[in-house]
């Protein structure tokens, strides 16, 4: 899998620029006959290879479509455009995809798979997303804001806000009108606006008879902020009809082959973000039951990795009239499972030492991405690996060792990744975000880099993490900083005991998002760590409630509290790291992105100001234009700068 890349400088000790050699697979799409896979590959290249700036390199992601029939994958699209979202026509002859070029959002294109040039279908000012062919192949649908433009900021105009939700992480300002559902008649080459929703469409799926779609939305904007969604039926000609009274979060819709029933992935009414997502079969009369009652694990992949650039579909698929294929996070792994209409669960493809972050299936074929802690993500087609991306790594990869700890609920687990050799090394405790996500067997370039640079990396799944059953998740409800901190410190002590090479007198604590909250919390409650790095963190739960894109609901779900209720305010302050900042002595690096609307940058600003006033050594690194996903999918040069800052801080306080 050759291609021009920005080569990292040759150095016996790898640096953050090793990121430049990587190529990231995403969006594996199985062909209708199950014998081919189309996918997206993101590579890091100079923004304009014809006009490189010798004083300032501009590495950027460039994406193209690749194709495999079971042999080594070959590149399908070329050029400077950024290609994504490949979608097969039902006859397997055409790929619809999105191509973005400089100055224009991604537009719908059609490419004959047998050969020929791609043809552009749309020329909107807004981007096209969520392409879907109808089962009969006659229609192609997508979401787009069309030619709507918002130039108020360019013109310096005031922005008048009347909606409860107006900014969102990764999207910045939300459009005045939600994206519309569009219909393209493939044979007639006719494009039309199909449906203009009152509130945003969060997902949709074609009915088996191609007579219309089911879509997810909310009855009004306030319910949307509260995660209260419903399913609607929309015919090709006619008005939408609400078919559920769900009043809760819905992630994905999977119509049953009979056309009358469907499965949704979501949470029942009264359950918020701490509840694992599950499979619910909704009958034609609106009654429903949970299909995966015997499976105490959430649907989908919750294991975090930092080599996921692009879309990672994991929508369940009907294998026949009675069997549904789905993915699920089990401890530190994610695999594929089957569930029948009578609730029987069987394993299809589950390696307890691996993660499948994405899959699609059709007929008897399955396309997926698989990764391990010591193996870079690769694309597989029907059990055969069709990429060789691991070979691009520029330094030897280490294998982590499992470390267990005990608490009131039983056994917890984590891992220690140690450098080669026998010398004593500084120890890092790193904490995942969420809190209801997971560390595990996904590949982490960041961890491998730290270990290669001489640090022992310790990471675990304390109570609150996904993958260990609902009771494990629920145990931190209303008490962040309690059981989770106990587990983290307990786990770290077990690592120090198991591996005497780890030097507890030269240790750091770090984390992002919820992991940043925990880093701030821990340094306010112990001085045992010699350095801290807090990334996209939270320090003030009160101000978070009114500034985060999920703040109107999040603390209700997680803590049973909310910032706008007088009776809850002091309780939220008691759970805020800022309340304990006078006790912080640990030198702290703060990293944050300006367009992070999930954990807004004002949280970092408050933590920086407070540490400064108390004389704590502190350094604040702010990234422009980036959002909450900087560490995983941010611009390559900014990801590199972030890692450089991490390593510089660790060098100064643990080795200096």
Q: What's residue 467's pLDDT?
A: 97
Q: What's residue 12's pLDDT?
A: 63
Instruction: Name residue 266's beta-bridge partners.
Output: 250, 278
Contact 366, 52 (CB under 8 A): no
Residue ranges of the chain with per-residue pLDDT less than 70: 1-12, 52
> Each residue of 540-599: pLDDT tens digit?
999 999 999 999 999 999 999 999 999 999 999 999 999 999 999 999 999 999 999 999
Say which of 513, 537, 548, 631 is annotated catalytic: 513
Contact 37, 49 (CB under 8 A): no
Using alpha carbons, list the distances in angstroms from residue 592 to 463, 558, 649. 26, 23, 15
Q: What's residue 1's pLDDT?
A: 47
Contact 132, 201 (CB under 8 A): no
pTM to 2 decimal places: 0.96
Q: Hey, is 168 helix, strand or coil? A: strand
| 628 annotated active-site | yes
**Structure letter (DSSP) for residue 622:** E
| 513 annotated active-site | yes
- Rounded to whole angstroms, the Cα distance separating 583 from 119 reads 62
Q: What's residue 56's pLDDT?
A: 78
Of 204, 65, 223, 230, which is closest to residue 132 (Cα–Cα)? 204
Structure-block tokens of residue 256: 């049953």
Q: What's residue 104's pLDDT?
A: 79
Q: Hey, is 492 helix, strand or coil? A: helix
Using alpha carbons, list the distances in angstroms from residue 89 to 98, 135, 310, 561. 14, 8, 21, 48
Structure-block tokens of residue 58: 């501009």
> Each residue of 501-536: pLDDT tens digit?
999 999 999 999 999 999 999 999 999 999 999 999
Q: What's residue 359's pLDDT?
A: 98
Structure-block tokens of residue 547: 């500034």
Of 547, 545, 515, which is closest to residue 532 (Cα–Cα)? 515
**Structure letter (DSSP) for residue 513:** T
Using alpha carbons, list the distances in angstroms from residue 84 to 252, 301, 331, 431, 521. 20, 21, 31, 32, 40
Angle at 396 between CA 391 and CA 398, to 5 degrees: 115
- Rounded to whole angstroms, the Cα distance separating 476 from 274 reads 9
Say which of 84, 85, 628, 631 is annotated catalytic: 628
Per-domain residue ranges of the chain: 401-540+576-655
Instruction: Name residue 248's beta-bridge partners.
Output: 229
Which spans in 108-266 are helix H? 152-155, 221-225
- Rounded to whole angstroms, the Cα distance separating 458 from 355 reads 19
Ranges assigned E (strand) in 69-138:
74-75, 82-88, 94-101, 104-112, 119-120, 128-133
CATH classification of 401-540+576-655 is 2.60.40.10, yes or no? Answer: no
Q: Hey, is 561 helix, strand or coil? A: coil
Instruction: Name residue 620's beta-bridge partners.
Output: 590
Using alpha carbons, list the distances in angstroms from residue 42 to 32, 60, 553. 24, 9, 35
């Amino acid at each position: 899998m050759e291609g021009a890349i920005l080569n990292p400088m040759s150095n016996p000790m790898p640096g953050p620029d090793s990121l430049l050699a990587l190529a990231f697979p995403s969006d594996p799409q199985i062909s209708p006959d199950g014998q081919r896979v189309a996918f997206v590959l993101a590579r890091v290249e100079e923004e304009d290879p014809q006009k490189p700036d010798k004083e300032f390199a501009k590495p950027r992601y460039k994406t193209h479509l690749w194709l495999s029939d079971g042999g080594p994958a070959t590149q399908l699209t070329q050029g400077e455009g950024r290609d994504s979202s490949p979608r097969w026509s039902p006859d397997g002859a055409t790929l619809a995809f999105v191509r973005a070029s400089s100055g224009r959002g991604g537009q719908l294109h059609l490419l004959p798979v047998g050969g020929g040039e791609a043809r552009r279908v749309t020329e909107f000012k807004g981007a096209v997303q969520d392409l879907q062919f109808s089962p009969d192949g006659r229609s192609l649908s997508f979401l787009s804001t069309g030619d709507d433009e918002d130039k108020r900021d360019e013109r310096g105009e005031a922005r008048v806000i009347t909606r409860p939700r107006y900014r969102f992480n990764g999207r910045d300002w939300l459009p005045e009108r939600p994206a519309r559902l569009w219909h393209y008649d493939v044979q007639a080459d006719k494009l039309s606006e199909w449906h203009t929703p009152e509130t945003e469409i969060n997902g949709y799926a074609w009915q088996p008879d191609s007579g219309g779609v089911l879509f997810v939305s909310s009855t009004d904007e306030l319910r949307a902020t509260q995660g209260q969604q419903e399913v609607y039926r929309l015919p090709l000609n006619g008005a939408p009809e609400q078919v559920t009274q769900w009043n809760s979060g819905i992630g994905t819709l999977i119509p049953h082959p009979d056309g009358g029933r469907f499965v949704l992935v979501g949470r029942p009414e009264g359950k918020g973000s701490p509840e694992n997502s599950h499979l619910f079969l909704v009958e034609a009369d609106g009654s429903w039951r949970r299909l995966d009652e015997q499976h105490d694990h959430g649907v989908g992949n919750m294991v975090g990795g930092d080599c996921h650039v692009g879309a990672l579909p994991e929508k369940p698929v009907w294998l026949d009239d009675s069997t549904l294929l789905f993915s699920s996070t089990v401890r530190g792994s994610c695999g594929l499972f089957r569930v029948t209409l009578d609730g029987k669960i069987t394993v299809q493809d589950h390696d307890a030492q691996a993660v499948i972050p994405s899959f699609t299936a059709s007929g008897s074929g399955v396309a997926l991405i698989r990764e391990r802690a010591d193996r870079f993500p690769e694309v597989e087609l029907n059990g055969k690996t069709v990429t060789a991306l691991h070979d691009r790594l520029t330094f030897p990869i280490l294998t982590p060792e499992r470390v267990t700890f005990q608490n009131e609920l039983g056994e917890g687990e984590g891992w220690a990744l140690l450098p080669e050799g026998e010398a004593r090394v500084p120890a890092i405790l790193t904490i995942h975000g969420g809190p209801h996500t997971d560390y595990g067997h996904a590949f982490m370039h960041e961890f491998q880099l730290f270990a290669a640079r001489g640090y022992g990396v310790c990471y675990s799944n304390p109570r609150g993490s996904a993958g260990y059953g609902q009771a494990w998740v629920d145990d931190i409800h209303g008490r962040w900083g309690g059981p989770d901190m106990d587990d983290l410190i307990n786990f770290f002590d077990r690592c120090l005991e198991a591996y005497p090479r780890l030097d507890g007198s030269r240790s750091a604590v770090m984390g992002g998002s919820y992991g940043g909250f925990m880093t701030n919390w821990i340094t306010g409650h112990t001085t045992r760590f010699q350095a801290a790095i807090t990334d996209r963190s939270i320090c003030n739960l009160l101000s978070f409630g009114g500034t985060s894109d999920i703040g109107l609901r999040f603390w209700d779900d997680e803590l049973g509290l909310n910032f706008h209720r007088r009776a809850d305010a002091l309780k939220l302050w008691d759970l805020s790291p800022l309340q304990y900042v006078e006790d912080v002595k640990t030198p702290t690096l703060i990293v944050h992105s300006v367009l992070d609307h999930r954990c807004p940058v004002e949280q970092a600003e408050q933590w920086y100001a407070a540490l400064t006033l108390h004389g704590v050594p502190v350094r604040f690194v702010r990234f422009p234009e980036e959002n909450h996903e900087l560490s995983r999918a941010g611009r390559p040069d900014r990801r590199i700068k972030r890692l450089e800052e991490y390593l510089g801080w660790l060098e100064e306080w643990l080795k200096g």
